Structure 1
């Protein structure tokens, strides 16, 4: 009887010890879990993120879940004949940065090398133009059915996937929604790093929004880097342009929707916020899609470029 009681007493302690150890492991796993450094925040409207890792010749698909950003699958890809880091038209390099699919092309009347489908990316974007990068026609596309096996570096700068993979991903490649991040090799950070960065980034965006809403021109312009450029306007031209807007337009409210936040894969202090902005005035509302490129310098956030559509 004494032996039986000892066993009965020992079993709960034994199992509770395993449960405690499991909880400790899960807590430590959450703290040490590493994720790609580039996705800071996504709205519910974005389900998939593609990360093209040139070093491993792999296109990864990540998805946003309740548990954070998780890898869903991966596939082989081919990039530019001359590698990555596109600067000029015709250099046969794949651009590095944060891009978005603009539309789906019907490839039935195009050259066979584009395969079953093609999805143009928005290269050159505002940041590419800021840096004087030129070129066009950077797509995610398929392969020639008669020559399906392409070497790792075999395109004019596009990202080539197998036709079968493109068919499987058709519902995940959504124009103006799906981000495609092209990097030399993936940089990994902890989820805690992303949370801290998200908090600071959201704070900067909210302060920028409030200054615009309240017509505080001085505070608003303090968010802009002296090397700022938007289209043909530099910082001083932009300041003059905004000054006239602040005088003539009385804003009642500004609303952000579909906010996306990213860290640049090439420049560790460069960030992108992409969102839909609605400006409400006494005369009506204006809605547009906006991208702000931010530089984080000495814990201060500065806008270096922006565009709207």
Structure 2
């Protein structure tokens, strides 16, 4: 802790007197001290506080009311307990890392960016500006529990030690309160995700190719409690925003109905539910995904009703592990997401920990799979049922109805559909998933020569040895 304090260069004597109570703030801000101008970046976010109000807050910061001072007592334990976890990543960083973190603050939601700015101001030895920002933050987001905790701790620095309250019993109760542990873990995960940014020019390893018809893609990293929003264009996928999220109270890896776990895999948004049709519990709305997908069903997984949704009005955010399996976002963040998703076209990857790879690597892996799907297309066009059969697993299904490739149903239909015709594939998306098995979700349109439109297919492939085999297909239109 002493090293963190020295790196922070805290000069204010009053600040030193309250340093033990705010060890978590100092440790957290130490992660951001290398980010020159980070507070300025955060301040560019919308805020309803006026300049005159900020001045009044600054003037009154040194004179807390009796109620504020008493509130400070109930918060002393939590900041001290957070010291060890937050200090673990306090090492100085490179200029590139600093620039990345600055961009992170711009990408984060308004409330989160403002909270991080409070951390940084405190770490720079500016407790009163930090207090003013914290006061504005809790006024604008009164249900943001973590911000309330930080605000109360900052108030404590304004009380001379001679007037401090001592309530060892109350502090002991708070130290063992699970709610306080949840808030400390939420703070740690927010800071970790904003400091450890995905390298520039990389994408989650699942996104090998994405059609420009899918304008956005979503990737959830459960280990960081983070949802990443990527925008798709002719230049490829680009990270444009990321948000704190909560997942299942029992963790990840959903297998059965009611296990309170968030599923892992590749999914698509299937609908958008109007908040007026939902209970307040779901907040600003809900985006259901297609769990269980065909690969989940193949492995015997059960359950349903997995959504991306908001929080109740009285809660800004929830603990990192808090849902019944859904991915839960703060309502302001969800509202941003709702404006961007496309029903049936926006992929959602949920992973225990995302692996980010360079875009050229993703393109290379996509080309490898393209050769397999092109061979399937050629066998079909040539009318060779024996050759075509090699691409299907015996338990292949189409649109949920089991079709046995031993008979004529699938193979004959495909040959009749495509034989002798020249077909063009377009709008191809390849989503790769590994979790013991190696699977690919391929979505594409096909148009025959002389026709203006055709089918859109979504195929699920499984690698067996060096070969790819089809086990499920959906005709989307």
In the alignment, which residue of structure 2 is the partner of 1:92? 260
Is residue 2:460 matched to residue 1:299?
Answer: no
Name which of 442, 461, 465 aligns with 1:273.
442
Contact 2:247 2:327 in 1 (8 A): yes
Once residues 216 and 323 of structure 2 are traced to their aligned partners in structure 1, the CA distance between those partners, rounded to angstroms, is 25
In the TM superposition, what whole-angstrom CA distance separates every residue of 1:118-174 from its partner, at most 9, and x where no partner exists?
111111111111111111111111110112231111111111111101112222111
Is residue 2:316 matched to residue 1:151?
Answer: no
Label 1:258 to 1:243 Cα distance change in 2 as closer, same or farther (>3 A): closer
Structure 2: segments with no counterpart, 5+ residues: 1-199
Q: 1:232 Cα shift? A: 5.1
Matches within 5 A, 1:115-130: 115-130=283-298
Name which of 406, 410, 426 aligns with 1:239.
406
TM-score, normalised with respect to structure 1: 0.80
In the alignment, which residue of structure 2 is the partner of 1:257? 426
Matches within 5 A, 1:95-110: 95-110=263-278
Once residues 249 and 112 of structure 1 are traced to their aligned partners in structure 2, the CA distance between those partners, rounded to angstroms, is 49
Label 1:192 to 1:151 Cα distance change in 2 as closer, same or farther (>3 A): same
3-state SS, counterpart of residue 427 of structure 2: strand
Once residues 286 and 45 of structure 1 are traced to their aligned partners in structure 2, the CA distance between those partners, rounded to angstroms, is 15
Q: Which of structures 1 and 2 has the bigger CA Rg?
A: 2
In the TM superposition, what whole-angstrom CA distance separates every residue of 1:50-93 from its partner, at most 9, and x where no partner exists?
10110000001122345433211110001111111111111111
3-state SS, counterpart of residue 406 of structure 2: helix
Contact 2:214 2:342 in 1 (8 A): no
Label 1:288 to 1:91 Cα distance change in 2 as closer, same or farther (>3 A): farther
In the TM superposition, what whole-angstrom CA distance separates every residue of 1:260-292 from its partner, at most 9, and x where no partner exists?
1011153462211012345689xx998443222
Label 1:90 to 1:192 Cα distance change in 2 as closer, same or farther (>3 A): same
Bigger RCO (CA 8 Å, 6+ sep): 1
In the TM superposition, what whole-angstrom CA distance separates every residue of 1:190-220 from its partner, at most 9, and x where no partner exists?
3332222111111111111121222221221
Matches within 5 A, 1:70-81: 70-81=238-249
Greater strand proportion:
1
Once residues 145 and 291 of structure 1 are traced to their aligned partners in structure 2, the CA distance between those partners, rounded to angstroms, is 38
Once residues 82 and 239 of structure 1 are traced to their aligned partners in structure 2, the CA distance between those partners, rounded to angstroms, is 43
Contact 1:182 1:265 in 2 (8 A): no
Name which of 353, 376, 389 aligns with 1:208.
376
Q: 1:176 Cα shift? A: 0.6
Contact 2:380 2:418 in 1 (8 A): no
Contact 1:183 1:265 in 2 (8 A): no
3-state SS, counterpart of residue 108 of structure 1: helix
Once residues 232 and 287 of structure 2 are traced to their aligned partners in structure 1, the CA distance between those partners, rounded to angstroms, is 22
Is residue 2:393 matched to residue 1:217?
Answer: no
Label 1:93 to 1:288 Cα distance change in 2 as closer, same or farther (>3 A): farther
Is residue 2:217 matched to residue 1:52?
Answer: no
3-state SS, counterpart of residue 378 of structure 2: helix
3-state SS, counterpart of residue 370 of structure 2: helix
Greater helix proportion:
2
Structure 1: segments with no counterpart, 5+ residues: 1-31
TM-score, normalised with respect to structure 2: 0.53
In the alignment, which residue of structure 1 is the partner of 2:129? none
In the alignment, which residue of structure 2 is the partner of 1:25? none
Once residues 35 and 198 of structure 1 are traced to their aligned partners in structure 2, the CA distance between those partners, rounded to angstroms, is 13
In the alignment, which residue of structure 2 is the partner of 1:68? 236
Name which of 75, 83, 95 aligns with 2:251.
83
In the alignment, which residue of structure 1 is the partner of 2:152? none
Aligned residue pair count: 275
